[in-house]
Amino acid sequence: MASGNDANGRLSGKKAVVTGAASGIGEAIAKAYLKEGASVLAVDLPEKSLHAVYADHAAAACLEQDVTETNAADRIVAEAATALGGIDILVNNAGVAMGSSLEMTSDELWDQVMGVNVTAMFKISRAAIPALKQSRAGRIINLGSIMSDMGGPDLFVYGTSKHAVAGMTKSMAVDLGQYGITANYLQPGAIVTALSAPFFEDKEFRQYWEHKAPVGRLGQPEDVAAAAVFLATDEAQFVSGVGLNVDGGAIVKF
């Protein structure tokens, strides 16, 4: 069984599953959890080199798994039981972002984006409920987007999927609260990751988002990870059904 890194950390002794954990926001969350003393099952696609990413972290177990595969949810929960001894925290971070207008969204693109961003999140969360019920502090943290509070050009299916994340998480909070399980979602704004970095090479696009955020800068994966740590701690035990914006204030600025 993997063990935590810091016995005095805010998540000491907690067992967390993080999907999409090989890079970007998922990697930042998983490593922040490890730093705070949790043991982590990192999940991502086979081609993502998970084992190399977590080679220096004894408290991390790795599972190469496409979250959209038929038996993915059961396999993730079973591996968490074997590697960690259960689940206290589930972070549904795996997601895809593809641009398309309503008119140009094909059935295939719709199914692909919704399959990762919504259906896989639902199935993994459902499969994890028995383990979360056994936890003294069950947490579900889903990755949404500020796109669930706004619209954007050529983001029809992505924006729709993130609206679904918001609604699904609120319903999870209502259904699972009786078991002491909280469910919340993070709404990142403009975050620089390996995936998004090419877009920010466009000077005009970068300046737009820098100026859109009142704090005057783009976000980093660590900004989102810090919020994910808070929602996983005992301090957040009375926070549920909430969408926490991590966007530097962009959503509130005209």
Catalytic option among 33, 54, 158, 185: 158
**158 labelled catalytic:** yes
Cβ neighbours of residue 70 closer than 8 Å, sequence gap 6 or more: none
Contact 113, 158 (CB under 8 A): yes
Q: Is 15 helix (H, G, I), strand (E, B) or coil?
A: strand
Q: Please state, in angstroms and rounded to a whole number, the distance separating the CA atoms of residues 22 and 94.
A: 10
Give CA–CA dist 156/117, Å, rounded.
13
| Burial (0-12, 13-18, 19+ Cβ within 10 Å), 248 | buried
CB 105 within 8 A of CB 34: no
Residue 224 · residue 188 · CB < 8 Å: yes
The set of catalytic residues is: 158
